[in-house]
């Protein structure tokens, strides 16, 4: 089967699922186990130092149910940013926005986009998007993935497919976008290693907040 045929089949299935999802638009919402305001300010070697609140215009676009955007700093003074966004339901126009769309829209030029594995607690391995962008002389590295009711998925299409499946089977469309990023100061490899270490330290905490 050729790649375009597989793509066509996937697209048709997603459209059919979205139509069914629209028909079942009265599905219940699923709240976080705990609000993101309680997310730890101490994670491994990093300490949260400041948080950012999104403006009303941005919140109206995102339609996010809860979120946290916080800067963490390690013992060497190197900072990184964390954004966790959660949607109790993705019906009625609320949906997760991909950083691959949002960052270029903010003036960041994509340089590199790959998927990388990260070993996490419990012998598991998650796969995340690794996105290198540039604006003027600044470079930034972004790692992000989606949580679909207990399942970690890197791709936007996979996240949408998981939402449709869960809407049909569980009558739930809740989901989360998880993103960590940092400016590239010394090298891309060093920045990547630092972000991976943070993800590994943060990952065990997610289950206290995100429902399965």
Lowest pLDDT segment from 30-39, 64-73, 95-104, 200-209 = 95-104
Residue-level pLDDT at 6: 52
In tens, the pLDDT along 32-42 reads 999 999 999 99
CA-nearest of 204, 197, 206 to 76 is: 197
Give the confidence band of 77 by pLDDT, cuts at 50, 70, 90: very high
In the block, tokens 């990952």 appear at: 203
CA-nearest of 69, 71, 72, 94 to 83 is: 69
In tens, the pLDDT along 145-178 reads 999 888 899 988 888 887 788 788 878 888 899 9
Residue 25 has pLDDT above 60, yes or no: no
Q: Which is more confident, 132 or 23? A: 132
Alpha-carbon distances of 209 from 32, 38, 70, 102, rounded to whole Å = 6, 9, 16, 25
Read off the pTM: 0.83
Residue 33, helix vs strand vs coil? coil
Distance CA 180, CA 95 (A): 19
Residue 66 has pLDDT above 90, yes or no: yes
Distance CA 76, CA 166 (A): 43
Query: Chain-wide mean pLDDT for the chain?
Result: 86
Distance CA 54, CA 73 (A): 21
């Amino acid at each position: 089967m050729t790649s375009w045929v597989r793509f066509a089949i996937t697209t048709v299935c997603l459209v059919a699922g979205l139509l069914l999802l629209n028909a079942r638009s009265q599905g219940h919402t699923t709240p976080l186990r705990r609000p993101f305001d309680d997310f730890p300010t101490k994670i491994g070697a990093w300490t949260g130092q400041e948080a950012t609140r999104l403006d009303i215009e941005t919140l109206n676009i995102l339609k996010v149910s809860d979120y946290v955007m916080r800067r963490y700093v390690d013992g060497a003074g190197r900072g990184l940013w964390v954004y966790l966004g959660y949607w109790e339901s993705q019906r009625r126009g609320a949906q997760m926005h991909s950083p691959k769309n949002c960052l270029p829209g903010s003036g960041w030029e994509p340089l590199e986009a790959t998927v990388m594995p990260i070993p996490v607690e419990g012998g598991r391995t998650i796969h995340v998007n690794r996105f290198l962008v540039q604006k003027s002389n600044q470079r930034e590295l972004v790692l992000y993935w989606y949580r679909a009711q207990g399942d970690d998925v890197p791709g936007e299409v996979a996240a949408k497919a998981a939402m449709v499946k869960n809407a049909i089977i569980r009558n739930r469309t809740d989901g989360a976008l998880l993103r960590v990023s940092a400016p590239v100061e010394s090298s891309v490899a060093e920045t990547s290693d630092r972000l991976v270490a943070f993800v590994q330290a943060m990952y065990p905490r997610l289950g206290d907040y995100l429902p399965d």
